[in-house]
Protein backbone atom coordinates (compact mmCIF):
# COMPACT_ATOMS: atom_id res chain seq x y z
CA UNK A 1 0.00 0.00 0.00
CA UNK A 2 0.90 3.62 -0.42
CA UNK A 3 0.45 6.23 2.30
CA UNK A 4 0.09 10.01 2.52
CA UNK A 5 2.52 11.91 4.74
CA UNK A 6 1.80 15.07 6.72
CA UNK A 7 3.35 17.09 3.90
CA UNK A 8 -0.09 16.84 2.26
CA UNK A 9 -1.54 20.25 1.38
CA UNK A 10 -5.12 18.97 0.86
CA UNK A 11 -5.09 19.98 -2.79
CA UNK A 12 -7.75 17.31 -3.63
CA UNK A 13 -6.18 16.19 -6.93
CA UNK A 14 -5.29 12.60 -5.95
CA UNK A 15 -8.66 11.49 -4.61
CA UNK A 16 -10.51 11.31 -7.96
CA UNK A 17 -7.53 9.60 -9.64
CA UNK A 18 -7.64 6.49 -7.42
CA UNK A 19 -9.28 3.58 -9.28
CA UNK A 20 -9.89 1.77 -5.99
CA UNK A 21 -11.50 4.67 -4.07
CA UNK A 22 -8.81 4.13 -1.44
CA UNK A 23 -8.13 7.85 -0.86
CA UNK A 24 -10.33 9.84 1.48
CA UNK A 25 -10.23 13.06 3.49
CA UNK A 26 -9.14 12.20 7.03
CA UNK A 27 -9.24 14.28 10.19
CA UNK A 28 -6.64 16.77 8.93
CA UNK A 29 -5.20 15.53 5.65
CA UNK A 30 -5.99 13.01 2.97
CA UNK A 31 -5.43 9.37 3.91
CA UNK A 32 -5.17 6.03 2.10
CA UNK A 33 -7.04 2.90 3.18
CA UNK A 34 -4.32 0.24 2.90
CA UNK A 35 -6.93 -2.50 2.49
CA UNK A 36 -8.11 -0.85 -0.74
CA UNK A 37 -4.79 0.41 -2.18
CA UNK A 38 -3.32 -1.93 -4.81
CA UNK A 39 -0.64 0.63 -5.76
CA UNK A 40 -2.74 0.69 -8.97
CA UNK A 41 -1.81 -2.93 -9.78
CA UNK A 42 -4.58 -4.29 -12.02
CA UNK A 43 -5.45 -0.81 -13.30
CA UNK A 44 -2.33 1.13 -14.32
CA UNK A 45 1.42 0.70 -14.69
CA UNK A 46 2.17 3.41 -12.13
CA UNK A 47 0.31 4.61 -9.02
CA UNK A 48 -1.87 7.42 -10.34
CA UNK A 49 -1.87 9.48 -7.15
CA UNK A 50 1.93 9.63 -7.12
CA UNK A 51 1.82 10.98 -10.68
CA UNK A 52 -0.43 13.90 -9.79
CA UNK A 53 0.65 14.86 -6.25
CA UNK A 54 2.29 18.30 -6.50
CA UNK A 55 4.34 17.84 -3.32
CA UNK A 56 5.36 14.18 -3.75
CA UNK A 57 3.98 13.14 -0.37
CA UNK A 58 2.71 9.64 -1.29
CA UNK A 59 5.44 7.07 -0.53
CA UNK A 60 5.15 3.34 -0.03
CA UNK A 61 3.75 2.49 3.39
CA UNK A 62 6.66 0.80 5.21
CA UNK A 63 4.20 -1.11 7.39
CA UNK A 64 2.36 -2.53 4.37
CA UNK A 65 4.96 -3.60 1.85
CA UNK A 66 3.37 -6.08 -0.56
CA UNK A 67 4.55 -8.02 -3.60
CA UNK A 68 3.00 -7.50 -7.04
CA UNK A 69 1.31 -10.88 -6.57
CA UNK A 70 -0.22 -9.83 -3.24
CA UNK A 71 -1.36 -6.54 -4.74
CA UNK A 72 -2.94 -8.33 -7.70
CA UNK A 73 -4.73 -10.73 -5.35
CA UNK A 74 -6.12 -7.68 -3.50
CA UNK A 75 -7.23 -6.21 -6.84
CA UNK A 76 -9.11 -9.41 -7.67
CA UNK A 77 -10.77 -9.48 -4.24
CA UNK A 78 -11.88 -5.86 -4.62
CA UNK A 79 -13.26 -6.55 -8.11
CA UNK A 80 -15.19 -9.58 -6.84
CA UNK A 81 -16.73 -7.46 -4.08
CA UNK A 82 -18.11 -4.89 -6.54
Q: Tell me the residue length of the chain.
A: 82
Nearer to ligand SF4, 40 or 53 (CB): 53
Instruction: Give the angle 36-33-67 at the CA atoms, nearest 5°.
Output: 55
Closest CA to 30 of 18, 43, 42, 46: 18
Stretch that binds ligand SF4, among 35-43, 49-57, 60-68, 69-77 (CB under 6 A): 49-57
By the rule CB under 6 A, 8 interacts with ligand SF4: yes
By the rule CB under 6 A, 3 interacts with ligand SF4: no
**Closest CB 3 distance from ligand SF4, rounded Å:** 10
Out of 1, 2, 14, 47, the residue judged to bind ligand SF4 by CB under 6 A: 14
Cα separation, 17 vs 66, in Å, equals 21
Amino acid sequence: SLMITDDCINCDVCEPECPNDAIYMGAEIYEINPDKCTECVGHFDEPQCQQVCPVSCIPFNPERRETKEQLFAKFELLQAAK
